[in-house]
Amino acid sequence: MKKILLLAGLLAAAVTLFAQDVTKEKEDKNKGKLTISGYAEAYYSYDMNQPQDHTKPGFIYNHNRHNELNLNLALLKANYTADRVRANVALMAGTYAQYNLAAEPSVLQHVYEANVGIRVGKNVWIDAGIMPAHIGFESAIGKDCYTLTRSLAAENSPYYETGAKVTWTPNDKWTFAVMYLNGWQRIKRVDGNQTPNFGTQISFKPSAKVFLNWSTYVGNDMPDSVRAMRYFNNLYGTFNITEKFSLIAGIDYGLQQKAKGKSDLYNWYTPVIIGRYAFTDKFAMAGRVEHYNDKDGVIIGTGTPNGFQTTGYSLNMDFTPVNNVMFRIEGKMFDGKDKTFQKGADLKNTNTSITASLAVWF
């Protein structure tokens, strides 16, 4: 709690400093604009396998507590934007932070993002710090996602990254970016690791109804003594078919060295498709079908003959009674090739859960 209060105090101090600049905006428009925003999402989830420790399977990092009311994410963010400078500071709490950042130093486990940027050309920005990952179409902020819970692809690829990024946006349709990173979803670099890690991103928006994205990661997330290079691709598209119906389709494909200095590679892949239909401004429904194939256990280890080869299905309903408030309920089932899900003293091929959430933001 002391660390949270300390971080909150630092954010308040930063906000005060930014605010002092904003009050002078009329005198100097180049001072920019400060925006304060917040988000909070509470949830209740019931896992039919009834884990005794109230924790869902280890590959789930959002909404992962069973049979208890909890907070997935509470977020307070300050954003400063000027003609040549921008900055973001966001602090968080909740089970997402507790589980997804468990490997980070404790003082950093409540930092959602903290980065600064400078424009060095007409359409070129350099940003550095802790940033949202350039991989995938989902984040921990549930209101921005089609579904209540996150996809297997999102849960098992980076949500955040630390490093430096150069972004070039030549026009309204294309965006290109390249990153130098501390590792695969890392704030603190792995001890004994001096290997450079890189990422790239190409986005194309040919029309208001279509958005396409290809992101990559190349690097080693282990000590150099056991270096295993990872080569990862994330490709997805969002399609606004009609005013009411939209679709997201994506696939991840990864490769990793089996041993240092060897050319043999493990591989895994993750296709996903999500459709959303908005009946009205207040009611919407989304369905998801996904598959995670990691037979060699690179990302999700099971110790079973076929590894983690699991298909997931989900259906959720969204209700937005007023602006900035969303209630959701979702049913989800995983069906695996091997018995990888624990229920009491037994192992099962399936895992079913029902989750409800209430989100508020400003």
Q: Give DSSP secondary structure letters for 37-104.
A: EEEEEEEEEEETT--TTSB--TT--SS-BSSSEEEEEEEEEEEEE-SSEEEEEEEEESHHHHHHTTTS
Question: How would you class 56 by CB atoms within 10 Å of its CB: exposed for 0-12, middle for 13-18, buried for 19 or more?
Answer: buried
N-term to C-term CA, the chain: 24
Cβ(256)–Cβ(231) under 8 Å?
yes
What mean pLDDT comes out for the span 198-218? 98
Q: How far is Cα 188 from Cα 219, in angstroms, rounded to an integer?
A: 15
Q: In sequence order, which residues have a C-beta less than 8 Å from that of residue 190 and are 6 or more positions away? A: 183, 221, 222, 223
What mean pLDDT comes out for the span 36-43? 98
Q: In sequence order, which residues have a C-beta less than 8 Å from that of residue 308 and are 6 or more positions away? A: 59, 292, 293, 294, 295, 297, 299, 300, 301, 302, 336, 338, 340
Q: How far is Cα 64 from Cα 72, in angstroms, rounded to an integer?
A: 8
What mean pLDDT comes out for the span 142-167? 98
Q: Is the pLDDT of residue 234 over 50?
A: yes
Q: Is the pLDDT of residue 12 over 90?
A: no
User: pLDDT value at position 78?
Assistant: 98
Query: Comparing 3-7, 171-175, 253-257, 280-284, which segment has the lowest mean pLDDT?
Result: 3-7
What mean pLDDT comes out for the span 108-116? 98
% of the chain beyond a pLDDT of 70: 92
* Cα-only R_g, the chain: 21
Cβ(356)–Cβ(328) under 8 Å?
yes
User: pLDDT value at position 31?
Assistant: 78
What mean pLDDT comes out for the span 17-44? 71
Q: Is the pLDDT of residue 3 over 70?
A: no
What mean pLDDT comes out for the span 149-166? 98
What mean pLDDT comes out for the span 118-142? 97
User: pLDDT value at position 337?
Assistant: 97
Long-range contacts of 346-354 (CB under 8 A, 24+ apart): 348/49, 351/47, 351/48, 351/49, 351/57, 352/47, 352/48, 352/49, 353/45, 353/46, 353/47, 353/48, 353/56, 353/66, 354/45, 354/46, 354/329, 354/330
Count CB atoms within 10 A of the CB of residue 239.
Answer: 14
Largest CA distance in the chain: 70
Q: Is the pLDDT of residue 14 over 80?
A: no
What mean pLDDT comes out for the span 163-183? 98
Query: What mean pLDDT is reported for the chain?
Result: 93
pLDDT category, 30, cuts 50, 70, 90? low
